[in-house]
Structure 1
Amino acid sequence: MSAFPIDYAAVFQALPGAALLLTPEFVIADANEALLRRAGRERRDLIGRLLFDVFPGNPDDPDASGMRNLRASLERVVATGARDSMALQRYDVEAPGRPGTFEERYWSPVNVPVLDADGRVRLIVHRAEEVTEIVRAGAGDTGDRMRMEADLFTRAQDLQEVNERLRRAQVREREVVLALQEAMLPAPRPVGHHRAAVRYRPAVGALNVCGDWYDLADLPGDRTAVAVGDVVGHGLAAACVMGQLRSALSAAARVADGPARALEVLGIYARSVDGAESTTAVQTVIHWSTHTLSYSSAGHPPPALLHPDGTVELLDRATDPPLGARPEHVDRPEAQVAFADGAVLVLYTDGLIERRHEDIDVGLARLAEALARHRGADAETLADALLADLLPPGGATDDAALVIVRL
């Protein structure tokens, strides 16, 4: 939060570049002063009207593609929630006060989404820098002008080809990361005498796949270790760090004296792994014979314990900073809690509950309400219900890992 109150509406109006705010249906919600000056329009002529009604394409020029290209760019932004920078466009503008008379204009547009708390496109910022004078200055006689237009078209085509190659490379990276994560994360299997349900949902967007993980391990003495973790960052690098840390914690849990000690070992190991700083993780151990859970958290959202009566207890009495947050080793805290037959243990990563511009307590309350509502479901059904209730309909902008064990 800024120390100074900021009037963002005034900032928008003062921007030196021409800008529009559009709804996802391409209706003009606002226009700044720079755009009004360059378009020669009054605000009342624009607000509440469809963009392409206010700025139609030139019907007398069959080769005019500016309007079609702009519509395609805006549709991509709505579909992907990602910024879209367009190549240089010729988009003729209807002369103010002279309907049907179009003036030749050139623009360098960019379209940027404004997302809501659930990751859906709420508004689009359309910024268009006019470069008409630059283009005209470089075109003298008719022959020069034709060559200039041909060169601009070629450059636009080249840029579109580069963008397409980049998009394909991003898609390939996403596929590699997802395949790597699938290979490293354990498959669902019985935990002790009980069935566990696990889910992993990658973030939407080509480069948004993160480093979330989960792990389950049977331990000596009728115990079961369950853990989840979240590596900072995205893409292949985060997935590789995830694999190293998941394996290290899984090994430490098998030999360490409790979850706190396992996280201490993981923290020491993480200091030698590039990209492991600030990773969060939580380790729990189910003691089946005594009906108790022991747990410790390294900066991770608290596990949830759903009791048979529908009450939800957040396991937040043993929380410490993320891995590598302290310059020196410090013993981590550990806590225990009792459970009854029929209770449910839920571990998850922050992608399940957190939303932009929303306090984490709101997401935790949403999780608790969903758990209470579906408390009679088996582990698999409960996992699917939580994903349906808690993840945005269009997909989250962060990964979500989920482990459910009915105790």
Structure 2
Amino acid sequence: MTDPAIDYAAVFRRLPGMLALLTPELVYADVNDEFAEGAGRTREELIGRYVFDVFPANPNDTEASGARNLKASLDRVLATGERDAMALQRYDVEVPGRPGEWEERYWSPVNTPLPGPDGTVRLIVHRMEEVTDLVRARGRPDGDRTRVLEAELYAHARELQELNERLRQAHARERAVALALQEAMLPAPRQVGRHSAAVRYRPAAGALNVCGDWYDLVDLVGGDRVGVSVGDVVGHGLAAACVMGQLRSALSAASRVAAGPAQALNVLGRYAHVVDGAESATAVTTFIDCDGHTVTYSSAGHPPPLLVHPDGRVEFLDRATDPPLDAHPDPRPRPQAATTYADGAILVLYTDGLVERRREDIDAGLARLAASVRRHRDEDPETLADSVLADLLPPGDATDDTALIVVRL
């Protein structure tokens, strides 16, 4: 409907319910009349201002979680492009014209993204339902019975939210244990032969969303050779951490005695069949011969390593791709391939959290990765790794684990 006679701005301002449009920087771009009235602010006091400057957390209540929960919801919308409906929120609001005096309010917010032509979130529709009166009606003996019952439901929702917050804190403690376990099992950053390397691990958002990904760097026998690998275990948390540790250790040992990366993955595939929780696990390993300037590689269902040559030419190592580790009941020989490189080339191994996005073909993520590494190829590995993460990971909390290894050859 494109009738130029329709004043859509006027329509928006008259829409029922409390509605606001937020920019990706969480600044009010517009609000309707009911939002301004319900918030107790004029449009001039809202538009162009940061949400949490207008409605900061109550400094007198250290347990107030409304502002924190709203910020987390808005960040999730920006990071995922998905609608986020929040539970009932208590959000203390400073009374207009009375500095330092705070009023207890109850809102039920829903945040919906409006994508632009490129698919990124251009605006967020922030809708709130004011339920303060319903919550307060719980204590009115002369109140309407229906209103009291509704207030009971909202009060129970608040109690459930408080329970969820306690569970979140408990999960956060368990997540810290999982992260400590991961750090103990994964190798520390170090030199790869004569060459410098950088490793990065970014856990997914949420309690226990850690330890699904792993990486390994191992010295190989016979000349100046090293093995560099990454892998991905389905799932998160302590159970995934244990599986990750078993697979990483098995591949590290197999690489030291295998004739090549394909044979090392053959051994790992057989082992994965007897490890509970290793279903659909993926891995890719590369054997780097620093004297012969070759990279030999094999992949078990994993995104291909990236080799960026000194002149900027991009090469995805995708000529030896096979199904995940446990795909075949009777393991069969896996393929392997080799390529050459010149001094100064960059080898990048990573897990799918770096390149995969919902509702997007993985080729788009691979293209972003190639462009980022090519653009930053003259940086040292540590700086380059940080640049790649900044270019590719979405703002806010990531929704999947990400492991990354950058090696200057």
Q: TM-score, normalised by structure 1?
A: 0.72
- Does the 8 Å contact 1:113/1:121 carry over to 2? no
**Using a 3 Å threshold, how does the CA distance of structure 1 residues 118 and 245 change in structure 2: closer, same or farther?**
farther
Q: Which amino acid aligns with 1:169?
A: A
**Using a 3 Å threshold, how does the CA distance of structure 1 residues 143 and 361 change in structure 2: closer, same or farther?**
closer
Structure 2 unaligned segments of length 5 or more: list them: 1-15, 41-57, 59-63, 78-82, 91-105
Distance in 2 (CA, whole Å) between partners of 1:115 and 1:312 is 34
1:180 maps to which residue?
181
1:378 maps to which residue?
380
2:398 maps to which residue?
396
Q: Which amino acid aligns with 2:322?
A: D
After superposition, residues 175-214 of structure 1 pair within 5 angstroms as: 175-214=176-215
1:78 to 74, 77, 87: 74
Q: Secondary structure at the match of 2:196?
A: strand
1:307 to 306, 309, 325: 309
Q: Secondary structure at the match of 2:347?
A: strand
1:274 to 269, 273, 276: 276
**Using a 3 Å threshold, how does the CA distance of structure 1 residues 299 and 56 change in structure 2: closer, same or farther?**
same
2:265 maps to which residue?
263
Q: Secondary structure at the match of 1:162?
A: helix
After superposition, residues 5-404 of structure 1 pair within 5 angstroms as: 23-24=21-22, 49=32, 52-53=35-36, 55=38, 72=67, 74-81=70-77, 83=84, 85-87=86-88, 109=108, 111=110, 123=124, 155=156, 158-222=159-223, 223-404=225-406
Q: TM-score, normalised by structure 2?
A: 0.71
Distance in 2 (CA, whole Å) between partners of 1:70 and 1:201 is 26
Query: 1:272-311: CA deviations, max 9, x gaps?
Result: 2222111111010011222111100011111011111111
Query: 1:77-132: CA deviations, max 9, x gaps?
Result: 1145595542499xxxxxxxxxxxxxxxxx995746659799979646869799x9
Distance in 2 (CA, whole Å) between partners of 1:392 and 1:299 is 24
Q: Secondary structure at the match of 1:297?
A: strand
**Using a 3 Å threshold, how does the CA distance of structure 1 residues 307 and 50 change in structure 2: closer, same or farther?**
farther
**Using a 3 Å threshold, how does the CA distance of structure 1 residues 24 and 262 change in structure 2: closer, same or farther?**
farther
- Does the 8 Å contact 2:75/2:397 carry over to 1? no
2:54 maps to which residue?
none
Q: Which amino acid aligns with 2:269?
A: G
- Does the 8 Å contact 1:184/1:243 carry over to 2? yes
- Does the 8 Å contact 1:120/1:394 carry over to 2? no
Q: Secondary structure at the match of 2:378?
A: coil
Distance in 2 (CA, whole Å) between partners of 1:396 and 1:332 is 33
- Does the 8 Å contact 1:200/1:399 carry over to 2? yes
Q: Which amino acid aligns with 2:162?
A: E
**Using a 3 Å threshold, how does the CA distance of structure 1 residues 85 and 317 change in structure 2: closer, same or farther?**
same
Question: How far off its partner does 1:395 sit?
Answer: 3.9
Question: How far off its partner does 1:155 sit?
Answer: 3.8
Distance in 2 (CA, whole Å) between partners of 1:237 and 1:128 is 40
- Structure 1 residues 229-238 or 144-153, which shifts more? 144-153
Q: Which amino acid aligns with 1:175?
A: A
Q: Secondary structure at the match of 1:366?
A: helix
Question: How far off its partner does 1:208 sit?
Answer: 3.1
Q: Which amino acid aligns with 1:401?
A: A
Distance in 2 (CA, whole Å) between partners of 1:55 and 1:143 is 23
Distance in 2 (CA, whole Å) between partners of 1:333 and 1:299 is 12
Distance in 2 (CA, whole Å) between partners of 1:405 and 1:388 is 18
Q: Secondary structure at the match of 2:386?
A: helix
Distance in 2 (CA, whole Å) between partners of 1:51 and 1:170 is 39
Q: Which amino acid aligns with 1:359?
A: D
Question: How far off its partner does 1:266 sit?
Answer: 1.0
Query: 1:216-252: CA deviations, max 9, x gaps?
Result: 0001112110000111112222222211111111111
- Structure 1 residues 383-392 or 284-293, which shifts more? 383-392
Q: Which amino acid aligns with 1:198?
A: V
Distance in 1 (CA, whole Å) between partners of 2:209 and 2:121 is 15
**Using a 3 Å threshold, how does the CA distance of structure 1 residues 113 and 177 change in structure 2: closer, same or farther?**
farther
- Does the 8 Å contact 2:19/2:31 carry over to 1? no
% identical aligned pairs: 58
Q: Which amino acid aligns with 1:378?
A: D
- Does the 8 Å contact 1:353/1:360 carry over to 2? yes
Q: Secondary structure at the match of 1:191?
A: coil
Distance in 2 (CA, whole Å) between partners of 1:259 and 1:50 is 65
Structure 1 unaligned segments of length 5 or more: list them: 1-17, 30-46, 58-67, 90-106
